Amino acid sequence: MTLSEHARCALEAQIRRLEDQLALAIAGPAEDPVHDFRVAIRRLSASLRIFSHFFPDRDARRLRRALKPALDAAAIVRDLDVDTALLHKLKLPAAHPLLARMARDRGLAALAFTGQLYLLRSREIPLSWLDPVSRLLETNEDAPLAPRALLPPLAAGFFKAGRKTTAKATPERLHAFRLAAKRFRYTLEVFRPFYGPVYGTRLEHVREIQSILGNRQDCAVTAALLQPFAPLDAEASLALEAVHARAARLERDFLRFWHTQFDAPGQELLWSRYLSRRPPAPRIPA
């Protein structure tokens, strides 16, 4: 398989997946469909970025930009879902005015999100993108060899960013590293077919970093929501203390996981060697 053939197959599958998720989200913008729609966009966007050089006239950038309004609208709904669930977990009473306000905001955000979905549907996005994908520039570059050149430098950058983050783990750096982990994970996923079982384990470790730091970022957003209520509201004050404690615990979890799974002696070298190792030669039938 050439790299352009792999790009075409990956993009077509992700476009169809996004179309399925768009239909589910239009049918009902509940928590899971909204989340799955966002993930489908991010995976497609990652592939569009990786394979952008196969598109003429910056078409890949244009396609990614077309998805941004819907992605932004979905993010607002998703944040409200996550923050509401966290506040319930922190035992903030269901009748609290903050939760009532968030429920109203969620309803309005869902309407705005649904409007963006219908706008995509009116422009036949993403299915109309199957045509430009079918006309990607051709190359003779071997698909299994391409990630051996692309991924080791990305892994080195990920390790460097992780060490910088753990040296001084401010909320801003933790959030930035979460985004870096997300981009790295989706890039790794694009080339999953060209590696063995160990690849899945390494991919899962990156996903765990993203998950821990995502939960940490949820705490930061929820704390900002609680802060105006806390000085005069005992229930909000208790919830704010709990969310700060949860954030501190998640930071410790992240540091522990990073130092044991990534920053232990020799781990970066193992990553580099694994990602750059040539694929096995095909077996010749006897």
CATH code of residue 89: 1.40.20.10
Q: 265-280 burial string, b = 16+ CB within 10 Å, else e?
A: eeebeebbebbeeeee
| pLDDT band per the 50, 70, 90 thresholds, residue 281 | low
pLDDT in tens, 36-83: 999 999 999 999 999 999 998 778 999 999 999 999 999 999 999 999
**What is the pLDDT, as a whole number, of residue 278?**
84
Residue 284 inside a domain? The answer is: no
Identify whether 46 is part of a domain: yes
The total of structural domains in the chain comes to 2
Q: pLDDT averaged over the chain?
A: 94
User: Is 140 part of a structural domain of the chain?
Assistant: no
> Where does a domain end: 110, 134, 158?
134
Cα–Cα dist 144/278, whole Å? 8
The 3-state DSSP class for residue 2 equals strand
Residues 32 and 68 in one domain: yes
In terms of domains, do 119 and 205 share one? Answer: no
Distance CA 263, CA 162 (A): 9
**Residue 2, strand partner residues:** 142
Domain that holds residue 92: 3-134
286 inside domain: no
- Output the pLDDT for position 57: 77
Rounded Cα distance between 31 and 88, Å, is 15
Q: Which of 95, 114, 134 is the last residue of a domain?
A: 134
Q: Which residue has the tokens 């698909």?
A: 143
Same domain as 154, residue 75:
no
142 has which bridge partners? Answer: 2
Establish if 121 belongs to a structural domain: yes
- Quick one: what percent of the chain has pLDDT higher than 70? 98
Q: Locate 167 and state its tokens.
A: 């040296």
For residues 113 and 221, membership in a common domain is answered with no
Is residue 283 in some structural domain? no
Q: Are residues 207 and 184 in the same domain?
A: yes
Residue at a domain's end among 134, 157, 185? 134
On whether both 33 and 114 belong to a single domain, the answer is: yes
Please classify residue 101 by burial: count the beta carbons closer than 10 Å to its beta carbon, then call 0-12 exposed, 13-18 middle and 19+ buried.
exposed
* 259 assigned to some structural domain: yes
Q: What was the pLDDT predicted at 80? A: 97
From CA 20, how far away is CA 64, in angstroms rounded? 18
Looking at residue 66, what is its pLDDT?
A: 95
Q: Which amino acid is present at 94?
A: A
The pLDDT tens digits of the residues spanning 188-244 come to 999 999 999 999 999 999 999 999 999 999 999 999 999 999 999 999 999 999 999
Omega within 30 of 0 (cis) for the link into 231: no
152 within domain boundaries: yes
Gap between the Cα atoms of 50 and 46, Å rounded: 6
Residues 111 and 161 in one domain: no
